[in-house]
A and B are shown apart, each in its own frame.
Chain A
Amino acid sequence: MQVSLTRINKRFGSVQVLKDVDLVFPSRKFVTLLGPSGCGKTTLLRMIAGLEDITAGSIRFGEREVNKLAPRDRNIAMVFQSYALYPQMSVRRNLGYGLRVRGTPKADIEEAVGRVARILEIDHLLDRKPAQLSGGQRQRVALGRAMVRKPDIFLMDEPLSNLDAKLRVTMRGELRRFHLDLDATTIYVTHDQLEAMTMSDLIAVMHQGVVQQFGTPAEVYSQPANVFVAGFIGSPPMNFLPGTIDAGRFTFADAKLPLPALPGGVKPAHAAILGVRPQDLIFEGTPAADTLTGTISLVELLGSEKLVEVNLSGQKRMSVQIHADMVVNMGDRVHVKFDPQRVHVFDTESGRSLRAG
Chain B
Amino acid sequence: MSRLNFLSSDRFVGLVFIAPFVVTALVFMVYPIAEAVRMSFFSYNPLRPDLTSFVGLANFEFVFSDPLFWDSFRQATIWTLLSIVFQTVFGVSIALLLHRALFGMAFFRGLLLFPYIVPTVVIALIWRWIFNPEIGVVNHFLLWVGLINEPVYWLSTPTMAMASTIMLNVWKYTPFVVICVLARLQTVPLELYDAAKVDGAGVIRRFLDVTLPQLREVLIVVIVFRTIWTFNKFEEIYLLTKGGPGTSTFNLAVYSFEQSMANLRVGVGAAAGVVMMIMLLVGSIVYLRIAGFGSEEK
Contact surface of A with B, Cβ cutoff 8 Å: 46, 49-51, 70-72, 76-78, 80-82, 84-89, 97-98, 101-102, 129, 131-132, 145
- Cα A355 to Cα B75 in complex, Å, equals 89
CA distance A80 to B200 in the complex (A): 15
Q: Write 17 A-B pairs (CB below 8 A) sorted by A numbering.
A: A50-B197, A71-B194, A72-B199, A72-B200, A81-B191, A82-B191, A84-B191, A85-B195, A86-B209, A86-B213, A97-B201, A97-B209, A98-B198, A98-B200, A102-B200, A131-B298, A145-B199
Contact A84 B194 (CB under 8 A): yes
- Also in contact, A84 and B192, with CB within 8 A (given A101-B205, A132-B297): yes
Given A80-B191, A82-B191, residue A51 in contact with residue B297 (CB < 8 A)? no
Q: Is the beta-carbon distance between B194 and A80 smaller than 8 angstroms?
A: yes
Question: Which residue of the partner chain B has the closest CB to A130?
Answer: B297
Which B residues are in CB contact (< 8 Å) with A89? 209
Please measure, in the bound complex, the distance between the C-alpha atom of A102 and the C-alpha atom of B199, giving whole angstroms: 9
* A86–B197 alpha-carbon span in the complex (Å): 13
In whole angstroms, what is the CA distance A101 to B198 when docked?
A: 11
- Say yes or no: is B210 at the interface (Cβ < 8 Å to chain A): yes
CA distance A49 to B199 in the complex (A): 11
CB distance from B214 to the nearest CB of A (A): 8
Kindly state whether residue B189 has any CB partner on chain A within 8 Å.
yes
Q: Give the number of residues in B that approach A within 8 Å (Cβ atoms).
A: 21
Q: Are B199 and A51 in contact (CB under 8 A)?
A: no
B205 adjacent to A72 (CB under 8 Å): no
A131:B297 contact, CB within 8 angstroms: yes
Contacts of B298 in A (CB 8 A): 87, 131
Given the complex of chains A and B, what is the CA–CA distance between A78 and B201 in angstroms? 14
Which B residue sits closest to A96, measured CB to CB?
Answer: B199
Bound complex: CA A89 to CA B214 (Å): 12
Q: Cβ of A46 and Cβ of B205 under 8 Å apart?
A: no
Q: Which of A49, A87, A88 contacts B198 (CB 8 A)?
A: A49
Select from chain A the residue with minimum beta-carbon distance to B213.
Answer: A88
B197 (CB) vs chain A CBs: closest residue = A71
Q: Which chain B positions have C-beta within 8 A of A86?
A: 192, 195-196, 209-210, 213
Q: How far is the CB of B65 from chain A (nearest CB, A)?
A: 47
Residues of B within 8 A of A84 (CB): 189, 191-192, 194-195
> CB-CB < 8 A to A85: which residues of B?
195
Q: Which residue of B has the minimal Cβ distance to A82? A: B191
A145 to B199 CA separation, bound complex (whole angstroms): 9
Residues of chain B contacted by A102 (CB below 8 angstroms): 200
CA distance A89 to B195 in the complex (A): 14
Check if A51 sits within 8 Å of B189, measured CB to CB: no
Query: Which residues of B from 177 to 221 have beta carbons under 8 Å from A?
Result: 189, 191-192, 194-202, 205, 209-210, 213-214, 216
- Chain A residues lying within 8 Å of B209, measured Cβ to Cβ, are 86, 89, 97
Distance between B191 CB and nearest chain A CB, rounded to angstroms: 4
Bound: A248/B175 CA distance, A: 78
CB distance from A43 to the nearest CB of B (A): 13
- In angstroms, Cα B210 to Cα A347, docked, is 53
* CB of A4, distance to nearest CB on chain B (Å): 20
Question: With the chains together, A198 CA to B118 CA distance in Å?
Answer: 66
From residue A73, how far is it (CB to closest CB) to chain B in Å? 8
What residues on A are CB-neighbors of B191 within 8 Å?
A: 80-82, 84
* Complex interface: chain B residues within 8 A of A131 (CB): 297-298
Interchain CA distance A252-B213 in the complex, whole Å = 65
Chain A residues with CB under 8 A of B205: 101
Residue-by-residue, is B49-66 near A (CB-CB < 8 Å gives 1, otherwise 0)? 000000000000000000
Chain B residue nearest to A148 (CB atoms) is B199
When chains A and B are docked, how far (Å) is the Cα of A26 from the Cα of B288? Answer: 56
Contact with A along B263-298 (1 / 0, CB 8 A): 000000000000000000000000000000000111
CB neighbours of A97 from chain B (8 A): 196, 199, 201, 209
Which of B197, B201, B213, B296 meets A51, CB within 8 Å? Answer: B197
Apart from A72-B200, A98-B200, A101-B200, what are 10 other A-B pairs with CB-CB below 8 Å?
A: A51-B197, A77-B198, A81-B191, A82-B189, A84-B195, A86-B209, A87-B213, A88-B216, A102-B200, A145-B195
B214 to chain A: which residues have CB within 8 Å?
Answer: 87
Docked Cα-Cα span, A129 to B192, in Å, equals: 15
Chain A nearest CB, measured from B291 CB (Å): 14
**In the assembled complex, which residues on chain B have CB atoms less than 8 Å from the CB atom of A98?**
198-200
CB-nearest residue of chain B to A102: B200
- Give complex CA distance A78, B194 in Å: 9
CB-defined contacts of A81 to chain B, threshold 8 Å: 191
Residue of A nearest to B190 (CB): A84
Q: Which 6 A-B pairs have the closest CB atoms?
A: A72-B200, A98-B199, A84-B191, A84-B195, A88-B213, A101-B200
Tell me the complex Cα distance, A207–B189, Å. 27
**Distance between Cα atoms of A97 and B198 in the complex (Å):** 11
CA distance A145 to B196 in the complex (A): 11
| Cα distance, A145 to B198, chains bound together (Å) | 11
- Given A101-B205, A131-B298, residue A51 in contact with residue B200 (CB < 8 A): no
Nearest Cβ in chain B — how far from A105, in angstroms?
Answer: 16
Most chain-A CB neighbours within 10 Å: which of B197, B205, B213? B197
Closest to B199 in A: A98
Which A residues touch B192, using CB under 8 A?
84, 86
B146 → chain A, closest Cβ, in Å? 44
Least Cβ–Cβ distance between A71 and chain B, in angstroms: 5
Return the chain A residue nearest B216 by Cβ.
A88
**A78/B198 contact (C-beta < 8 A), A129-B297, A131-B298 known:** yes
Q: Do A101 and B199 touch across chains, with their CB atoms under 8 A apart? A: yes
